[in-house]
Amino acid sequence: MTSQPLRSRNWFGRQDLDGFAHRSWVKSEGFSDHVFDGRPVIGVANSWSELTNCNAHLRQVAEAVKRGVWSAGGFPLEFPTISLGEVLMKPTTMLFRNLMAMDVEECLRAYPLDAAVLLSGCDKTTPAMLMGAASADVPAIMVTGGPMLRGNWRQEELGSGTDLWRLWGERRAGRLTDEELCEAESCMSRSAGHCMVMGTASTMASMAETLGMTLPGNAAIPAPDSRRLQMAELAGRRAVEMASAGGPRPSAILTANAFDNAIRALMAIGGSTNAVIHLVALAGRVGVPLPLARFDELSRTTPFVLNVRPSGKYLMEDFFYAGGLPVVLRALLPLLDGAAPTVNGRSLADNVGDARNWNEDVIRPLGVPLAAEGGLAILHGNLCPGGAVIKVSAASPQLLTHRGRAVVFEDHADLHRRIDDPGVAIDETSVLVLKQAGPKGAPGMPEWGAAPVPARLLKKGVKDMVRISDARMSGTSYGTVVLHVAPESAVGGPLALVRDGDEIQLDVPRRTLTLEVAEAELGRRRAAWTPRPPHFSRGYGRLFLDHVLQADEGCDFDFLRGRTPVKYEDSAGPSHA
Ligand code: FES
């Protein structure tokens, strides 16, 4: 049935001692001789975990994938990967994204797999799996777990994270009781799935779909919707075809044009700032140069059309009912490379050609966008020589050009200790500066960027302030928040030199971020600056600190960039002790 040799035959097709061992031990699971008849072996890489609530339903999704694999004549073998649960994992899942990518890459290489179906969901699980598959370059198709159903509290629709921050702000301002907050807690997260705003998980699912690594329409199907399982079954069937044909492999799909397409889609949907880091890291795996400037360039000519929180009004469920990502991609086709290949063997344009928009308030037509330009902007200036990112679509328009005096917090603990201290001189014109929150400084570059507005200002009705850090921000957050400042403060970037009272000028239309301090004075501060001791001296943390790249380079490890494609003879050598 196959059109080219299968890697798995080097394990299961051998008539020698190794072949005996490989088959015999797999038979211990109850499989009969039929599974060794030359059919493709499909790995179902599952990031299921009860500690990753967003992925807790992926065992069921895996069953649907396996059903598809069996029905198409393949042999599915499900295996666990490490899983990164955004909410429970400390200090941040970003510390472990590269570890998960390594896990996925090495399992794809080490096991007898002809193709893989990648099951992801929560924020970092999607880029980690894509990065691992890209480096191993095994034919792979992704199925994400889908967003939760809408939250609903007292007739009010609640979005994950986005409304959490809002309700918590109300509580701090004294307008909500603890009892009301507790009730809202249950009403916000009411089904399986990942955050159901256009946060990082929804964004990365949309990126995977635009890049061509999922079947069309995958990103927005709600987790509990039966069509999610149907799509999983179809992905399993398609993986068998890909294994038999030997492709397409990720290297054939993840081209420079595919990344441009993804950036366009990112801007059109008002996606998460985290996607900038993940796309740069993924591009690094396949040798595609992706400077931050490319994001800004494409942002300026891509309309922002998706009316979904945190940059809009609706939720992911509404996006699905409106037609989902294919509608956005179809509208964007004049700006995209429609000939880009995708995992189903068709081009991007072919996949979305029939998409219809069922709700033009959720997905605005290109001619009446929410904004003429994309949702993200890249900043440069003496405060961020390596660049910084701001989500314009989630910022306050009146703060996009702002000059104010810095109020500096030396680290996250300092921020939380003093933000509500009446002795700290802060008003609505202040610029909150947070240090030690980058890849090495925090460590792991947590989502601390949307620092809280002081309670006394919240009570006065101030909802937003300019905030600057080397941290990331949750894709569900909003506000005038400058992120990913590079180089970070922990390695002596200019952010480390900012002091209370310094004037900072943010000018988003001009794409600049300027510390208004004379270079001679900065030189004196630089000479006096000393780094803090490293967070780790051993283990994975040490590996991370020694090799993590800065935000503008995607925070990948320096030695993980590029590919080591699997080979037909990967099973060579001792396999059984
Ligand atoms: Fe998993 Fe938001 S916590 S996607």
| 3-state SS record for 200-236 | HHHHHHHHHHHHCCECCCCCCCCCCCHHHHHHHHHHH
Percentage of residues in the chain having pLDDT higher than 70: 98
Confidence of residue 575 (pLDDT cuts 50, 70, 90): low
Percentage of residues in the chain having pLDDT higher than 90: 89
> pLDDT per residue over 338-347, tens digit each?
999 999 999 9
> Rounded CA gap, 420 and 407, in Å?
13
Question: What pLDDT is attached to residue 170?
Answer: 85
Tell me the CA–centroid distance for residue 428 and ligand 1, in Å: 31
Mean pLDDT score, 348-366: 98
> Rounded CA gap, 468 and 366, in Å?
32
Nearest CA to ligand 1 atom 3: 86
State the greatest distance between any 2 C-alpha atoms of the chain, in Å, as a whole number: 79
What single letter denotes the amino acid at residue 284? Answer: G
**Residue 48 contacts by C-beta under 8 Å, 6 or more apart in sequence?**
55, 56, 58, 59, 62, 80, 83, 119
* Ligand 1 site, CB within 6 A: 54, 86-87, 122-123, 160, 194-195, 199, 201
Question: What pLDDT is attached to residue 3?
Answer: 60
- Dihedral of the alpha carbons of 303, 218, 123, 145, in degrees to the nearest 10: 150
- Quick check: helix, strand or coil at residue 515? strand
* Domains in the chain: ranges and CATH: 395-528 (3.50.30.80)
The DSSP letter of residue 431 is E
Start-to-end Cα distance in the chain: 33
The answer, yes or no, to whether residue 572 has pLDDT greater than 80, is: no
Contact assessment for residue 74 and residue 42, using Cβ atoms and an 8 Å cutoff:
yes
Q: Which helix (H) or strand (E) holds 390?
A: strand 387-391
Question: What pLDDT is attached to residue 5?
Answer: 85
Tell me the CA–centroid distance for residue 44 and ligand 1, in Å: 22
Tell me the CA–centroid distance for residue 571 and ligand 1, in Å: 37
Which tokens hold the place of 294?
């490319």
Confidence of residue 171 (pLDDT cuts 50, 70, 90): confident
Mean pLDDT score, 490-511: 98
**Closest ligand 1 atom to 200 CA:** 4
Tell me the CA–centroid distance for residue 122 and ligand 1, in Å: 5
Lowest mean per-residue pLDDT among 458-467, 500-509, 523-532: 458-467
> Rounded CA gap, 559 and 540, in Å?
14
> Rounded CA gap, 200 and 122, in Å?
8
> pLDDT per residue over 1-28, tens digit each?
446 689 999 999 999 999 999 999 999 9
The answer, yes or no, to whether residue 568 has pLDDT greater than 90, is: no
- Quick check: helix, strand or coil at residue 484? strand
Tell me the CA–centroid distance for residue 565 and ligand 1, in Å: 31
Tell me the CA–centroid distance for residue 375 and ligand 1, in Å: 21
What single letter denotes the amino acid at residue 516? Answer: E
> Rounded CA gap, 207 and 368, in Å?
23
> pLDDT per residue over 226-235, tens digit each?
999 999 999 9
**Of the residues 49, 86, 188, 191, which should be mutated to test ligand 1's pocket, given the most ligand atoms within 8 Å of the CB?**
86
Confidence of residue 569 (pLDDT cuts 50, 70, 90): low
**Of the residues 122, 197, 316, 477, which should be mutated to test ligand 1's pocket, given the most ligand atoms within 8 Å of the CB?**
122
Predicted TM-score of the model (pTM): 0.96
**Closest ligand 1 atom to 194 CA:** 4
Confidence of residue 576 (pLDDT cuts 50, 70, 90): very low
Question: What pLDDT is attached to residue 56?
Answer: 97
Nearest CA to ligand 1 atom 2: 195
Strands (DSSP E) found in 96-215: 115-120, 140-144, 151-153, 156-158
Q: Which helix (H) or strand (E) holds 76?
A: strand 75-80
Nearest to 99 by CA among 513, 435, 542, 553: 542
Tell me the CA–centroid distance for residue 55 and ligand 1, in Å: 9
Tell me the CA–centroid distance for residue 475 and ligand 1, in Å: 9
**Closest ligand 1 atom to 86 CA:** 3
